[in-house]
Structure 1
Amino acid sequence: MDPADDAVTLSEGAVTALRGALPDVADRTVDAIITEVPSYENALSGPMGATIRQAVQLALGGFVALVSGTPAAAGTRRDPRRPATASTRGAYDLGRGEARSGRSMEALLAAYRIGARVSWRELSRVAVDHGVGARMLAEFAELVFAFIDELSAASAAGHADELAASGRVRRRRLERIAHLLLERAPADAVHAVVASTDWEPPETLTALVVRSDQVRAVLTSVDPATLQPADELPALADGERTLLLVPDVRRSLLLEQLGRYDAVVGPTVPWLEVRTSYDRVERALGLPRPDGTDRVDGLLDTDDVLVDLVVHADPAARAALRARALAPLEGVRPDTAARLEETLRAWLLHQGRREEVAAALFVHPQTVRYRMGRVRELWGDALGDPEVVRELVVALA
């Protein structure tokens, strides 16, 4: 059966009395909210309070109109449990405004609960004074609370929609900040975007690349103000890795927190220079590994591979240097040349200490003596030239 068919219909005298009581009911409702919900104390004490009082009065007036028997259209009557479109739109907009003001949904729902209680207390008193019996009073109570539930649901929807919209706007602005930083945009341009959001510029930023399936877990371990660029960077084009820019963190602590994740961590730099941190991470991702595994298998601190980064910074120059420095091996059989190269490298690194070279190569010291004799034949007196030795150290690094 349609709820409107057996809806409460109040006498003309009761309706008139209810309408006359609305200003006082609105005042009492707002006063109760101010008293019982601290976050509304300042918001409702000034001009905003007068606006809300009027809104409460209009909403309750709409309810009284519904229960008064006023037809919504010829031959029809609205269900008093359901506010008119204008009332729900107002409640929806109220929810959005509360979100923009920074008040929580809990505060808004508490205000509605208090409003329902006070409104029912005041309206029921007027209804009883004008002859409304117990049975009708119970039905009247149901309508009051159902009506306010509908309004609170509309406000909750508005609050949620505003948070979602503002969250998207904030994310886009943070992504824009990250984009400008990675593009090395002028400081003025970066500061202009920062000024439009609530992101507080840190002293430093640290770039790190983590496996995309671990991003959520990593974000719970770092500062919530961490930037996550949306732009697809060349080194991350496969989508399997994600860049994060972490503000004001001690690298030792960050490395400890990331211990169980697969990540590459760059240096900590002044926040406007974070591109240099990312550049180092990007170069580290391109370094070859002896075992052929991905550089994001496990945790890698770029400070631990500085020599490799320098040596591999210019592959073409390094290839030319190797060709020149190792030219004496050109006429030697490839397998023999490989053994002599390996031995010369160990000899240079261990500064000619034969026992240590043998241990590093897992060969007998006499083998080292034989091989180095062959090396000296090939290089001759050049092995005594510091410049030649310097080139060999870099070429064989």
Structure 2
Amino acid sequence: MAITSDNELWAAVPAGVATLLRPAIGDLADQMISEIQQRVPEYARPSDEIYIKVLRLAVDEALQRFLSRIERPHEPWDPEVFRAIGRGEAAEGRNLEPFQTAMRLGARVAWHRLTEQAERLTLDPRTLYDLGEAIFVFLDQLADAATDGFNEARANAAGEMERRRHRLLDLLLSQPPASPEAIGDLAKAAGWRPPRTVAGVALEERGGYRAPSLAPDVLVGLERRHPCLIVPDPMGPGQAQMLDTGLRGWRAAIGPAVPLFDAATSLRWAREALELVKRGVLSEGKGVLRCSDHMATLVVFKDEELVRALSEVRLAPLAHLRASQQDRLAETLLAWLRHGRGAGEVAARLHVHPQTVRYRLRQLEELYGDQLADPDIRFELEIVLRARQALSR
């Protein structure tokens, strides 16, 4: 008759077999432990008495549970001991392969010992067959319980590590900054090696959520009101490509590289740059926008009211002109300030005829007079004209 369920399997083994086997389990446990320690290097710890006691406890528990299931096949069993073994393997930093190997070796020893003693124990072939099947079904159940404990421990550890990293991100971005000691202690607990420099990255979804794919040492704060990252060693090899690739689907700006404890400052600059992208002042490219490429614009727009007031003063000579005239002369004056005072070079930059540039420059000389000879005024003119050009985009 075929066995169709777990309970039927255990019930097929005569309950009295457990009474026959029980006197021998102490000796059997010794043989199983010896075989495991000889064949599985991870369990060969002769100097670790506590670990040997744990191994013996596990083997004894497995044997006692096996006999109990034979005696009471319909009684539910609690696999907590083997879940705890799985959690212990995770805590030891191992995978489950050594444990599974140990269980298979133990089952093999038990089966060999059983077949050797079958005649003395008067076990008929049918009972011996059912016992063999029960051993390997029980082995699978132990492995499943250990796997559950292992996965639970790994998930808990990953969750705790993630919580510590979120807290570390909070500390690095706090104002006023947290103490170096507090950050150092939490970084160690989070498994994060403090770098010499970091950069803050401001994020915004473009539409259609896509989880970033980033290096493990990047601190991620997607759950924050304003999503952000802290990137260690932002100028290191491969970092730029990692961000451009991993942040596809996000609008992102990365602040300048700064010392670790200035992370909040770098992120503030990144957020300011991202706002200028949203306003159209800075052009949005395919990858991450880098503040280091737009420092002049960030400085100019740091205090727009002040720049606006300066513009009213420095662009006053153009105020009476038509808007189209203002645009042409402002464009020519900025090119002249930025690229030199030769009409030919300015014409090449603006893609117009040199004679057109000379005409415009004469107009500007008439409008500004001696002001264009003053280096301070030229500097202020370049500031306001850069701001005007950026806003015109």
Residues 90, 321 of structure 1: alpha-carbon distance in 2 compared, 3 angstrom cutoff = same
1:187 has 2:196 as partner: no
Question: Aligned partners of 2:38 and 2:331: how far apart in 1?
Answer: 82
Give the drift of 1:360. 1.7
Q: CA RMSD in A?
A: 2.8
Can you give the 5+ residue segments of structure 2 that lack an aligned partner in the other structure? 387-393
Alignment CA distance shift 1:294-1:130 (3 Å): farther
Tell me the distance in 2 between the aligned counterparts of 1:340 and 1:294.
24
Taking the aligned partners of 1:113 and 1:157, their CA distance within structure 2 comes to: 18
Equivalents in 1 of 2:218, 2:164: separation in Å? 13
Query: Following TM superposition, by how much is the alpha carbon of 1:353 offset from its aligned partner in structure 2, in angstroms?
Result: 0.7
Q: Deviations over 1:209-264 (max 9, x none)?
A: 567656544x2xx3x22211244243x4xxxxxx3323235445322445556553
- Equivalent of 1:147 in 138, 144, 154: 138
2:244–2:288 CA contact under 8 A, matched in 1: yes
1:373-388 pair list within 5 angstroms: 373-388=362-377
List gaps (5 residues or longer) in structure 1: 237-242
**Aligned-pair CA distance for 1:347:** 1.5
Q: 1:247 aligns with which of 232, 235, 240?
A: 232
1:346-372 deviation per Cα after TM superposition (whole angstroms, max 9, x unaligned)? 111122110111122222222212212
Deviating more after overlay: 324-333 vs 255-264: 255-264
In 2, Cα distance between equivalents of 1:394 and 1:5: 87
Superposed, 1:88-237 pairs within 5 Å as 88-183=79-174, 184-209=177-202, 215-217=211-213, 219=214, 222=215, 224-234=216-226, 236=227
Distance in 2 separating the partners of 1:178 and 1:146: 48
Question: When the two structures are superposed, what TM-score results if normalisation uses the length of structure 1?
Answer: 0.84
The 5 A counterparts of 1:1-397 are 3=8, 7-9=12-14, 11=16, 15-42=18-45, 45-67=48-70, 70=71, 72=72, 77-78=73-74, 84-86=76-78, 88-183=79-174, 184-209=177-202, 215-217=211-213, 219=214, 222=215, 224-234=216-226, 236=227, 243-248=228-233, 250-251=235-236, 253-258=238-243, 262=248, 263-288=252-277, 295=284, 297-397=286-386
Structure 2 counterpart of 1:49, one-letter code = I
Structure 2 Cα separation of the partners of residues 111 and 4 of structure 1: 24
Match of 2:254, SS? strand
**Cα pair distance change 1:345/1:43, threshold 3 Å:** farther
Cα distance, 1:156 vs structure 2: 0.7
Letter in 2 for 1:174: R
TM-superposed deviation, 1:34: 2.0
Secondary structure at the aligned position of 2:331 is classed as helix
Question: Is the contact made by 2:198 and 2:232 (CA closer than 8 Å) also made in structure 1?
Answer: yes
Contact 1:287 1:308 in 2 (8 A): no
User: Structure 1 pair 230/350, CA: closer, same or farther in 2 (3 Å)?
Assistant: closer
Q: Is the 8 A contact 1:350 1:357 kept in 2?
A: yes
Answer with 180-189 or 319-328: which moved more.
Answer: 180-189
Change (3 A) 1:112 1:249: farther
From the superposition, tell whether residues 334 and 259 of structure 1 become closer, same or farther in structure 2 (CA, over 3 Å). Answer: same
Pair 1:371–1:118, CA change in 2 (3 A): same
State the shift of 1:285 in Å.
Answer: 1.4
**Range with bigger deviation, 160-169 or 326-335:** 326-335
Cα deviations by residue, 1:291-313 (Å, 9 ceiling, x for unpaired): 77863633433221121121122
Aligned 8 A contact 1:96 1:159 in 2: yes
Q: Is the 8 A contact 1:95 1:158 kept in 2?
A: yes
1:15-46 Cα distance to aligned partner (Å, 9 max, x none): 44421211122222222222222222239942
Q: Distance in 2 between matches of 1:31 and 1:205?
A: 52
Alpha carbons 2:200, 2:254 under 8 Å: kept: yes
In structure 2, give the amino acid aligned to 1:46. Answer: E
Residues of 2 paired with 1:289 and 1:62: CA distance? 66
Judged with a 3 Å threshold, the aligned counterparts in structure 2 of structure 1 residues 335 and 179 are, in CA distance, closer, same or farther, namely same
Deviation at 1:85, TM superposition (A): 2.4
Query: What is the identity, as a one-letter code, of the residue corresponding to 2:240?
Result: L
**Quick one: which amino acid aligns to residue 21 of structure 2?**
L
**Amino acid in structure 2 at the alignment position of 1:267:** P
> Where does residue 390 of structure 2 map in the other structure?
none
Q: 1:110/1:294 Cα in 2 relative to 1: closer, same or farther (>3 Å)? A: farther
Moved more, 50-59 or 128-137: 50-59
Q: Write the deviation string for residues 170-225 of structure 1: whole angstroms up to 9, x where unpaired.
A: 101111101110113222332332243333323332333567656544x2xx3x22
Pair 1:389–1:5, CA change in 2 (3 A): closer
Identity of aligned residues (%): 33
The whole-number CA distance in structure 1 between the counterparts of 2:234 and 2:42 is 34
Q: Please tell me the residue identity of whatever aligns with 1:189.
A: A
